[in-house]
Structure 1
């Protein structure tokens, strides 16, 4: 939408002409009409607000498109990098669970300095037997291998479920981050377009003020008309400053999301930048699509399975555990046996028969966690359904509002044209023409706002139904 260009072609042609009309005194030739050269004279205005020649050529900064912003966010967003780091950490859950079933080997050694060496001689032995050396060294290696550990079976399965939940959580974070970037971009693009409209409106107000001054100088209008034109020009300057600051703030927020300097301008998005998902044709299909495609819904369902696996893990604590053990030790003192190194191998069976009611308490706790996860699942599903319904309603309202705003622009344009004709014929006053043009500018700004609302509503509906994935670089597959 090139609303600023449209506003230029409409509003500037509505500036009151100083041509002679019935009952009016024509101005002197030393005060030329501002209608003929509105943009050329604006550059020499005494206004404190510097004006660019057009809204789209104010700076030489490169343009950033919506697709480029989303791609840049996925590449270097700090929040997305943090989500990827959390996902990488979660991938170690399975390895941690399997470590309980893999062999564990422990090595230990010791050095002891004794006060003196102890030895004694046996009858018939050629050498004395040393019982204790003054510098005594020893070493030991112990190995342990789980053979039957029932609690590890659900623990390993739960670890893999935890990895899937973490992956879905990270994917949901990725989509939310990209959704925030798209929202920020569309907001900045709308503010830029609104800024251009305000700048063009200021040019029109300046033209009106010059025209009113010329007419006042020749006695064609009262001083009230000149004061009104001056006030309108000052208000337009204030709106330009406000719109520029709002646009700069929006760009700063977008740059923070993209982790880049504010060295760009946003390009106006095309009408098809945010397409309407085909799956949102009716409420039932939209809700079903959302429950099937949204990562947070899938994660909530897996959390229920994870809670049930935790209860099963507590139940398996009632079963015995069997381990294979091995030990190798050596010392620099042979002792009475004359053997400095030895080894052992065996099986170790353990069975916790009573632990003071800890397992029973854990069972009750795990049952509560299952109930909590099930309630969270229901709550998530109801929240998703509500978001889908709201997004559909807001999109419908935004489309109706946009249609109404466009009709208002057409009506306001026609009113401005008729007011110009009436003014030239002497049938209306200057203040009436000013009010009509102010209505036209307001209609233009309303159209900009409603166009943004349509884009944002489509974006929100795509997110609510789980179809917002602009890059397709999913961090985890959604079941």
Structure 2
């Protein structure tokens, strides 16, 4: 019925199959601390997208083999054994006659020339294979980027948890100081209530940060091809070497991207395929010559009543040449050629669009990285100033020369500064990963794999 979901008995077996986990999945070691390189290796080994792209490339490789097979003749054979018995009338009586035959004919077909039709199909298949290989590389490029950004997002989430814990500790210290001053008659009840509210808000923010960390860890595990409920320990941000500048110029980065980006290489491969298909369609204007050979070796046996067995053998068959030339087809060849030419122009335009896109993406990533460097420097200065301000305000509050609002504001500013500092550091790492992604540095020979 259209007003209810579909259900059937086979649904249960399909659901069971969907729940199965491939045996080749490598689960992370819960006692090991994984670096980014090791996380990327896990992702490339486990993520099903690499297997999908690999099998697609293998499919195109086999399609190229099929196209090349047209350069060779086809040879088929058939074994025939036949026997019959009959009554033959001769003179004034019937004689029983037995005949037997054994044949092993061969059927050979070969295209001698076709003015480039086969070579066009081979070149098109070769271009499709190139595109599939570049697509496979692009899957790895994107997977490495996803693993890197997921790792950095987890580092940011973990840093936010640490910042929230420090903020909660500071809020509790301010609350305790306010309660002590209230006990000494130096503070009012509203001051204590305000300090408790700040502590409660800090505890709430901590739980939100813990939840975000759990989600970030699950996202990373999903990219690694594992269950998000799994457990993994990663290298903390304090152990990472975070650069503060980029040595290459944007022009050199753009040049490297134009030489290395697999999505742009896919477009170039598509141009090769379209050129080859145009060559194939033009070959249809010319004749093709084929040869057909049919050798048929035979062995014949015959036995007629009152006479001994008779036997003969020989080689029969025929050889023919076929010249085929389509003189008129109502404009089909002309339209197919125009279609192939238009497809070639479209692929050339697509390559130009992709080239412009690559240049813009590299420029954007480069600009974002420079911005991240400046933001990290500013965040570091902000954290230092906020920490000094909070320390001075808290000390002055104990001395009775500052009020609670001043110290709580300084405490909240310090909490935001800690959060901003963590975010700024991970933003630099994420921007570096984005620049490596846009220039395709991560899939060059020293990083690439020859299998999924």
TM over 0.5: yes
1:332-385: CA deviation from partner (whole Å, max 9, x where unpaired): 9889x9879733333332222223322111101001101110110110001001
Aligned match of 2:235: 267
Shift of residue 121, structure 1, vs aligned partner: 4.9
Q: 1:157 to 1:175 in 2, by over 3 A?
A: same
Matched, 1:466 2:432: no
Pairs within 5 Å for 1:11-410: 62-108=32-78, 120-121=88-89, 140-150=105-115, 151-261=117-227, 262-269=230-237, 270-272=239-241, 278=247, 280-281=248-249, 283-329=250-296, 342-410=316-384
Unmatched tracts of structure 1, length 5 or more = 1-59
CA shift in 2, pair 1:360/1:127, >3 Å = farther
**2:391 corresponds to which of 417, 432, 449:** 417
1:263 is paired with a residue of what secondary structure? coil
Deviation readout 1:3-62 (Å, 9 max, x if unpaired) = xxxxxxxxxxxxxxxxxxxxxxxxxxxxxxxxxxxxxxxxxxxxxxxxxxxxxxxxx854
Residues 140, 123 of structure 1: alpha-carbon distance in 2 compared, 3 angstrom cutoff: farther
The superposition leaves residues 164-202 of structure 1 with CA deviations (integer Å, 9 ceiling, x where unpaired) of 221111111111111111110111011111111211222
Q: Structure 1 473/389 Cα, relative in aligned 2: closer, same or farther at 3 Å?
A: closer
Deviations along 1:439-465, one digit per CA (max 9) or x if unpaired, are 011111111111111111111112212
- Residues 156, 127 of structure 1: CA spacing in aligned structure 2 closer, same or farther, 3 A cutoff? farther
Q: Distance in 2 between matches of 1:475 and 1:316?
A: 40
Match of 1:30? none
Find the residue that maps to 1:344 and give its secondary structure. Answer: strand
Rounded to whole Å, the distance in 2 between the matches of 1:275 and 1:230 is 40
1:427 alignment partner, SS class: coil
Per-residue CA shift, 1:227-275, capped at 9, x if unaligned? 1121111111111111111111111111111123521122224443679
| Alpha-carbon spacing, 1:319–1:406, altered in 2? closer, same or farther (3 Å) | same
1:253-302 CA distance string (max 9 Å, x none) = 11111123521122224443679764x31x32222221112112222122
CA drift at 1:88:
1.8
Structure 1's 277 and 297: CA in aligned 2 closer, same or farther, altered over 3 A? farther
Are the aligned partners of 1:275 and 1:458 in contact in 2 as well (CA < 8 Å)?
Answer: no
5+ residue gaps, structure 2? 1-29, 303-310
Partner Cα distance (1:354, 1:183) in 2: 60
Q: How far apart, CA to CA, are the structure 2 residues paired with 1:428 and 1:313?
A: 87
SS at match of 1:100: helix
Q: Residues 418 and 218 of structure 1: is their aligned pair in 2 closer, same or farther, counting only changes over 3 Å?
A: closer
Does the 8 Å CA contact 2:290/2:321 hold for their aligned counterparts?
A: yes
2:19 matched residue in structure 1: none
State which drifts further: 342-351 or 314-323. 342-351
Separation in 2 of the partners of 1:197 and 1:450?
A: 13
Q: In structure 1, the residue corresponding to 2:326 is in which secondary structure?
A: coil
Change (3 A) 1:276 1:367: farther
**How many equivalent pairs are there?**
409
TM-superposed CA distance for 1:77, in Å, is: 1.9
Of 346-355 and 233-242, deviating more is: 346-355
RMSD: 3.2
Q: Secondary structure of the residue that 2:402 maps to in structure 1?
A: coil
Q: 2:389 aligned with 1:428, yes or no?
A: no
- Whether the aligned pair in 1 keeps the contact of 2:123 and 2:272 (CA below 8 Å) is no
Alpha carbons of structure 1 residues 413 and 275: separation in structure 2 relative to 1, 3 Å: closer
Q: Structure 2 length normalisation: TM-score?
A: 0.81
2:347 alignment partner, SS class: helix
User: Which has the higher mean CA deviation after the structures are superposed, 337-346 or 213-222?
Assistant: 337-346
Distance 1:240 1:329 in 2: 88
Question: 2:4 corresponds to which residue?
Answer: none
Q: Would the alpha carbon gap of residues 88 and 194 (structure 1) be closer, same or farther in structure 2, given more than 3 Å must change? A: same
Deviation at 1:314, TM superposition (A): 0.5
TM (normalized to structure 1)? Answer: 0.77
Instruction: Give, in whole Å, the separation in 2 of the partners of 1:205 and 1:257.
Output: 37
